[in-house]
Amino acid sequence: MTRLKALAAVALVSTLLVTSACGGDSGGPAAKDGEVTLRFSWWGSDARTKLTQATIDAFQKEHPNIKIKGEYGEWAGYWDKLATTVAANDAPDVIQMDEKYLREYADRGALLDLKKAGDLKTDKFAPETLSAGEFDGGLYGLNAGINSFAVLANPAVFKAAGVALPDDKTWTWDDYNRIAAEITTKLNGKGWGTGVIGANEAGLNLWARQNGESLWTPDGKVGVSAGQVTKFFEYVLKLRDSKAIPPAEAVTQDMTASLDQTTFATGKLAMGFSWSNQLNAFSKASGQELKLLRIPSTTGQAAKNGSYYKGSMFWSVSSRSKQRAAATQFVDFLANNAAAGNILLAERGVPPNTEIRAAVTPKLQPADAASAKFIEEISKDLGEPSPAPPVGGGQVEKIIQRYTTEVLFGRLAPDKAAQQFLDEVNGELK
């Protein structure tokens, strides 16, 4: 009898082992009659997710044998999740990638060289738009849209404050502070002039570029001096002391809030710093017709404000994808197919494919049309392209947020914050 029990136990255990072994194999291709499943991940607002899903549907209609599973989330959690899945050898096949992390993944062999992937055509791309995703002779990220750092203005709040929209071709940082402070005063507790600069590294980069430096050098080092970072943090303090920005806690809260919940999106700010393609998402979230303004400069000349075209994001394919052909086919569709272009429009930035750009421009919704127009207008005033961040440079956003917070709460003086900021950024570079 006991022997029988023992046998039963053995049977039970072996069944368990076999089932768990099967369960572990979920990452493999679910090949059934040549059917292929791709996983595709992106970050962004609800507006983007809807457009992206519609594009996926269009692709699936053309390619009934390819199923695409979307995985999406907020910017903040996206990178942790991507790192985890890549480490677990379970990366999505098609990845929406940012400049900050492109080298981080590509240099470690996690991304496929799209030039070697075959099916991808890039002949219609404006040449300077490809270079941002190209290094060491390979193409690891395909530009998904062009954008530029800008000031986002909410005319309704300007109107409520009784302040005229400024001339963004001549304004200086002092003008910016003065106007924002005036708005705060006139709104009398109902809102503030602007969000803070220093909630990401783009503001610092432009500040540096206006002063003959840049955040990164082409050979992958830190290119900004302690003196300029100090001046930058001093300006952050100036904004705080003139009450141009909300109280420190509200500013800090915005740094980790989802776009829809930020003070700007909820209509409490007249101005904010943002990437031009986010005009669409902020317009939808706030329900207002927003405007893009050029970044102020030190000298009052917009042509010297250091602006540059950035690849808003990139399409990358995992080097471990078992469905490379299908994945590349999908990236090709996203970049070069008119149907996709007509759905995505300029939500991820102005299309780098010149043919698609020409085709979609007349169809753009007001918000996207405005950002496309902005991108067009600043083209004659652009500075040098900005070097891509080196490996380890992806951390700089979190680092500058931390030091901006320290400065805003008065826990570190600007010069101390600048020195510690640089030490830490240098420490992260590998």
Partner 1 sequence: MQKRDNVTAYLFLSPWLVGLFAITIGPMIASLYLAFTDYNLIEAPAWVGLENFTRMLSDERLHNSLRVTFTYVFVSVPLQLAIALLLAVVLDRGVRGMAFYRSVFYLPSLLGSSVAIAILWRQVFGTEGLLNQVLALVGVEGKGWISDPSTALGTLVVLNVWTFGSPMVIFLAGLRQVPTMYYEAAAVDGAGPLRRFFGITLPLLTPIIFFNLVLQIIHAFQSFTQAFVVSGGSGGPSDSTMFFTLYLYDRGFGNFDMGYASAMAWFLLVVIAIFTGVNFLVSKYWVFYEN
Binding residues for partner 1 (CB under 8 A): 2-3, 5-6, 9-10, 12-13, 16-17, 76-77, 79-80, 83-84, 86-87, 104-105, 108-110, 247-253, 255-257, 392, 395, 398, 401-402, 405-406, 409, 411, 428
To partner 1, the closest distance from the beta carbon of 406 in angstroms equals 5
Contact 245, 192 (CB under 8 A): yes
To partner 1, the closest distance from the beta carbon of 2 in angstroms equals 6
To partner 1, the closest distance from the beta carbon of 75 in angstroms equals 10
To partner 1, the closest distance from the beta carbon of 62 in angstroms equals 33
For partner 1, give the closer residue by CB, 6 or 31: 6
Identify the three-state secondary structure at position 144.
strand
Give the torsion through C-alpha atoms of 336, 337, 343, 349, to 10 deg.
0
For partner 1, give the closer residue by CB, 373 or 398: 398
To partner 1, the closest distance from the beta carbon of 133 in angstroms equals 18
Q: Which residues contact 356 (CB under 8 A, 6 or more apart)?
A: 124, 335, 336, 338, 341
Give the torsion through C-alpha atoms of 144, 150, 154, 157, to 10 deg.
150
For partner 1, give the closer residue by CB, 89 or 212: 89
State phi, psi for 330 to the nearest 5 degrees.
-70, -40
For partner 1, give the closer residue by CB, 251 or 375: 251
The residue ranges of DSSP E strands in 4-93, in sequence order, are: 36-43, 66-73
To partner 1, the closest distance from the beta carbon of 83 in angstroms equals 5
To partner 1, the closest distance from the beta carbon of 150 in angstroms equals 24
To partner 1, the closest distance from the beta carbon of 300 in angstroms equals 34
Q: Which residues contact 4 (CB under 8 A, 6 or more apart)?
A: none
State phi, psi for 117 to the nearest 5 degrees.
-80, -10
For partner 1, give the closer residue by CB, 12 or 325: 12
The residue ranges of DSSP E strands in 98-175, in sequence order, are: 134-135, 138-139, 142-147, 149-153
For partner 1, give the closer residue by CB, 86 or 360: 86
Alpha helix segments (H runs only) across 361-413: 366-377, 396-408
Q: Which residue has the tokens 């994945």?
A: 327
To partner 1, the closest distance from the beta carbon of 149 in angstroms equals 22
Q: Which long-range contacts (CB under 8 A, 24 or more apart) does 2-5 make?
A: none
Measured in whole angstroms, how far is the alpha carbon of residue 298 from the centre of its chain?
26
For partner 1, give the closer residue by CB, 246 or 387: 246
Contact 315, 144 (CB under 8 A): yes
Q: How wide is the angle at C-alpha 330 spanned by C-alphas 328 and 335, nearest 5°?
A: 95
113 exposure class (CB count in 10 Å sphere: 0-12, 13-18, 19+): middle
For partner 1, give the closer residue by CB, 180 or 255: 255
For partner 1, give the closer residue by CB, 253 or 288: 253
